[in-house]
């Protein structure tokens, strides 16, 4: 048997003090695979029988397994096994990945903006014609390793994905050559948890981007909870799940104890609701899947018509994405089995050297194409974060052994570490800086303070010339499309989006950037100040920019106030300045 292994790191669906389900699995006793629709239900029966005898079964169903339960559910032809489970005699302790391997992946879209807009038009026409209420439209991102992948690159990517999307229902499954290669799922969505005759489903529908400040973040969450469009999107799927679960539920037992709950993920807010019920005596695992699969949150409503439209709009099979990944294990003595499955969103498939990751959203009558496209970009941020290793970065001035504004820089670095889930040791960081300062007691130095994913700080110093009295700035020739992304709001070594605007003209110090809405944001190496109507202003963080230390100091002492400045306002600007903590306040001219 080829090398097969798995790791499961699932949140407790019931919450409270129940620990996470974190286990590793070695070589299985058996592998169960279904290639034909007729084999899917018998495979699930075999999984249940194995778990009833004490085994742990880890595996998945592809989205294309749906017609095994209802021939009316339309899908593309599958390009791999419809269902796959490894049967293990027991579960092993979870071990943190100690490999030094790194993973670098370059991703490309398969659904460009014009094609997305055309699909949106078709969906809106179908909704207007009364054919359906919602369609979950998706597309695959295709990835390739940047250079030859190191041994253990897939495991390293999984670890990076978990750091980028912690919590939830994460699974790493290596099927060897018996299934779909390697599955790296960090899904935040519970499909169902079934134990002791009780079933819980937690559909996730409704999304908002995280805010740039705590106040803006709270406002985003409140707006998501109050949004008629997002609430309608959520309740449509809740109604669908209630109907699906009623097929296996005892009469009058279906309840919705939690509705419109907002969950904070690193890059987005998501809205979830709980649907609970008591299952009828004699219900089997295959019966549960027949009633619920695929989860309505990734189809739309009504499910049959939505899946027909999905097949017409999407270019090929979804695969494990939008199917189900989970574990079936023995329950308490005398209580049968326990089955917990995620909805494999935020899931990467690694096979034959290539990588795939699906992204999608629910389209309703209130959907706006630009907003839905931005939602796709927001959901991709976890992938961008994990696919290219980066360090947190602070740049400080060191003059004659004294670090300028060190406390402000360390506060900002601590905030970035918290955001990215990187360990933070204030004493270790301070010790690192103190050592560097002691080694450079004289002169003017530019200090780069770096902190990697494991939390270990390091610092380096470079000789720095005195700041010029005035600098020249140029205006960008196009908007910065990722102005609201986390690699703008937090300072890191991930700077490709800034490097694309490096000045090209002779003598130009930096480039003034603006966002897709035509609002001035910042420069590539510092913030920008403008004299407008007799006062000095700087763009607010909501425009999409780094909260620079020099900017914060100028706001604190009253030299600057915040104001939105648009491209149309530039003829009225009476003066310019470049601002950061390294160079201070530099008078500037636009060339």
**Catalytic positions, written as ranges:** 189, 205
Residues forming a β-bridge with 337: 330
381-414 in b/e form (b: 16+ CB < 10 A) is: bbbbbbbbebbbbbbbbbeeeebbbbebbbebbb
Residues forming a β-bridge with 31: 86
Spatial separation of the C-alpha atoms in residues 37 and 39, rounded to whole Å: 5
Spatial separation of the C-alpha atoms in residues 559 and 500, rounded to whole Å: 31
Spatial separation of the C-alpha atoms in residues 161 and 170, rounded to whole Å: 9
Contact 309, 123 (CB under 8 A): yes
Q: With the C-alpha atoms ordered 152, 158, 161, 163, is the resulting torsion angle positive or negative?
A: negative
DSSP 516: T
Q: Report the run of H or E that residue 236 belongs to, with start and end.
A: helix 228-246
Spatial separation of the C-alpha atoms in residues 20 and 109, rounded to whole Å: 34
DSSP 224: H
DSSP 492: B
Q: Report the run of H or E that residue 127 belongs to, with start and end.
A: helix 113-128
Residues forming a β-bridge with 473: 510, 590
Q: In what order do the strands lie in the sheet with 527-532?
A: 520-523, 508-514, 470-475, 584-590, 573-580, 527-532, 535-538, 561-562
């Amino acid at each position: 048997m080829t090398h097969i292994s798995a790791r499961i790191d699932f949140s407790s669906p019931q919450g409270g003090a129940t620990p996470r389900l974190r286990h590793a699995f070695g070589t299985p006793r058996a592998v169960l695979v279904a290639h034909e629709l007729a084999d899917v239900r018998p495979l699930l029966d075999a999984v249940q029988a194995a778990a009833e005898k004490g085994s742990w079964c880890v595996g998945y169903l592809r989205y294309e397994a749906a017609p095994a339960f209802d021939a009316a559910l339309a899908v593309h032809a599958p390009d791999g096994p419809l269902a796959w489970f490894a049967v293990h005699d027991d579960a092993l302790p979870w071990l943190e990945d100690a490999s030094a391997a790194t993973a670098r992946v370059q991703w490309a879209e398969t659904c460009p903006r014009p094609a997305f807009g055309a699909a949106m038009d078709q969906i809106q026409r179908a909704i207007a014609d009364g054919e359906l209420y919602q369609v979950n439209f998706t597309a695959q991102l295709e990835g390739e390793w940047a250079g030859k992948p190191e041994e253990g690159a897939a495991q390293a990517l999984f670890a990076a994905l978990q750091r980028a999307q912690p919590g939830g229902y994460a699974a790493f499954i290596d099927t060897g050559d018996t299934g779909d290669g390697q599955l790296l799922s960090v899904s935040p969505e519970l499909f169902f948890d079934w134990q002791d005759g009780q079933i819980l489903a937690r559909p996730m529908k409704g999304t908002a981007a995280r805010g740039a400040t705590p106040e803006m973040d709270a406002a985003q969450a409140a707006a998501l909870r109050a949004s008629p469009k997002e609430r309608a999107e959520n309740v449509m799927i809740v109604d669908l799940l209630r109907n699906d679960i009623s097929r296996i539920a005892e009469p009058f037992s279906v309840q919705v104890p939690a509705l419109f709950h907002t969950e904070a993920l690193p890059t987005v807010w998501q809205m979830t609701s709980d649907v609970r019920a008591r299952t009828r005596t004699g219900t089997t695992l295959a019966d549960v899947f027949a009633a619920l699969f695929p989860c309505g949150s990734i189809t739309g409503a009504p499910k049959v018509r939505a899946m027909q439209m999905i097949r017409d709009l999407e270019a090929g099979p979804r695969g494990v994405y939008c199917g189900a990944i989970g574990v079936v294990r023995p329950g308490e003595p005398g209580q049968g089995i326990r089955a917990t499955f995620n909805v494999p969103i935020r899931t990467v498939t690694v096979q034959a050297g290539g990588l795939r990751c699906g992204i999608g959203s629910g389209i309703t009558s209130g959907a706006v194409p630009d907003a839905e496209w931005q939602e796709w970009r927001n959901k991709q941020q976890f992938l961008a974060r994990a696919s290219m290793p980066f360090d947190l970065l602070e740049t400080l001035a060191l003059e004659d052994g004294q670090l300028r504004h060190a406390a402000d820089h360390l506060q900002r670095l601590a905030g970035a570490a918290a955001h990215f889930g990187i360990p933070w040791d204030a004493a270790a960081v301070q010790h690192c800086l103190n050592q560097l300062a002691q080694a450079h007691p004289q002169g003017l130095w530019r200090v780069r303070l770096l902190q990697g994913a494991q939390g270990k700080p390091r610092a380096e110093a470079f000789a720095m010339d005195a700041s010029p009295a005035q600098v020249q700035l140029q205006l960008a020739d196009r908007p910065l499309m990722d102005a609201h992304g986390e690699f703008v709001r937090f300072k890191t070594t991930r700077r490709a989006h800034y490097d694309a605007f490096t000045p090209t003209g002779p003598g130009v110090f930096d480039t003034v950037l603006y966002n897709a809405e035509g609002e001035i944001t910042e420069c590539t190496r510092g913030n920008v100040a403008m004299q407008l109507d007799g006062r000095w202003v700087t763009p607010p963080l909501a425009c999409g920019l780094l909260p620079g230390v020099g900017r914060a100091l100028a706001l604190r002492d009253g030299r600057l106030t915040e104001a939105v400045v648009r491209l149309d306002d530039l003829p009225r600007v009476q003066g310019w300045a470049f601002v950061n903590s390294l160079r201070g306040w530099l008078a500037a001219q636009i060339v």
